[in-house]
Amino acid sequence: MIAQDLLAALQGVNSEVAERESADWPSFNCPIDSLVDVLKALRDNHGYDMLVDATGIDNGVEASPRFTVVYHLLSTSNHVYIRVAADCLDSENPVAPSAVSLWPAADWHEREAYDMFGIKYENHPDLRRILMWDSYPYHPLRKDFPLAGHEEDLWDEEIREETGTKVIPAPMAGGPFVSSSSSFEADKEPRAKDESWSEEKEKPDA
């Protein structure tokens, strides 16, 4: 078993490495302070030479630990994937070590996780937002961020004054718009979850 051998080997790096529940590939939980050491061991000693994805998880506003960082690795010689997760210690200002020193590919992935979740990566060479504009004050994939967004000023001051346009919460009109799980293709057209109101019809008072 790949998972058992790996687990034993990784516990040599840090004894607290444990198996993580997974539906597909071997997956491990790792203490965040030895995350880089574990990733380095996987890369140098076990052939996991390619970083496929680095991302984050918001476990919920109440959850503790709230934020988890996840690294997906691939062995290009053995063609097997592996997943390593580490919980951030601080739920208010989550901090995680950067893997850019191991894989340059981690650069943009970690910038995206920083943009969307607000996870600060230590020793990252260029930790800026990658999708939202630099002055945006929120982290949109956090569980307490509404899909429609918040009202906000446009980032360009001149255009803001010229047009008077603001960033507005998107009109949801009964959304989000989802397709039903019905088996008929014709019924899978996405519809508003709450069809009691729309752009023409006011939302009924609760």
Partner 1 sequence: MVSSNADIGYNSKVEGGVIVSKADAVINWIRTHSLWPMPMGLACCAIELMASGASKFDISRFGAEVMRFSPRQSDVMIVAGTVTYKMAPIVRRIYDQMAEPKWVIAMGACASSGGMYRSYATLQGVDRIVPVDVYVSGCPPRPEALLDALIKLQDKVRTETSAKDLLKIKS
Residues in touch with partner 1 (CB under 8 A): 131-133, 138, 140, 145-150, 154-156, 158-160, 162-163, 165, 167-173, 175-177, 190
Instruction: Report in angstroms how near the CB of residue 56 gets to partner 1 at its nearest.
Output: 18
H, E, C per residue of the chain? CHHHHHHHHHHHHCCCCEECCCCCCCEEECCHHHHHHHHHHHHHHCCCCEEEEEEEEECCCCCCCCEEEEEEEEECCCCEEEEEEEECCCCCCCEEECCCCCCCCHHHHHHHHHHHHCCEEECCCCCCCCCCCCCCCCCCCCCCCCCCCCCEECCCHHHHHHHCCEECCCCCCCCCEECCCCCCHHHHCCEECCCCCCCCCCCCCC
DSSP 106: H
Q: What angle do CA 173, 179, 184 make, to 5 degrees?
A: 140
Instruction: Report in angstroms how near the CB of residue 46 gets to partner 1 at its nearest.
Output: 39
Instruction: Report in angstroms how near the CB of residue 165 gets to partner 1 at its nearest.
Output: 5
Instruction: Report in angstroms how near the CB of residue 140 gets to partner 1 at its nearest.
Output: 6
Compare residues 122 and 162 and give the one whose CB is closer to partner 1: 162
Compare residues 108 and 155 and give the one whose CB is closer to partner 1: 155
Instruction: Identify the sign of the CA torsion 144, 59, 56, 119.
Output: positive
**70 closest CA partner among 47, 99, 101:** 99
Instruction: Report in angstroms how near the CB of residue 143 gets to partner 1 at its nearest.
Output: 14
Compare residues 16 and 162 and give the one whose CB is closer to partner 1: 162
Compare residues 2 and 131 and give the one whose CB is closer to partner 1: 131
Compare residues 81 and 136 and give the one whose CB is closer to partner 1: 136
Compare residues 104 and 169 and give the one whose CB is closer to partner 1: 169
Instruction: Report in angstroms how near the CB of residue 182 gets to partner 1 at its nearest.
Output: 20
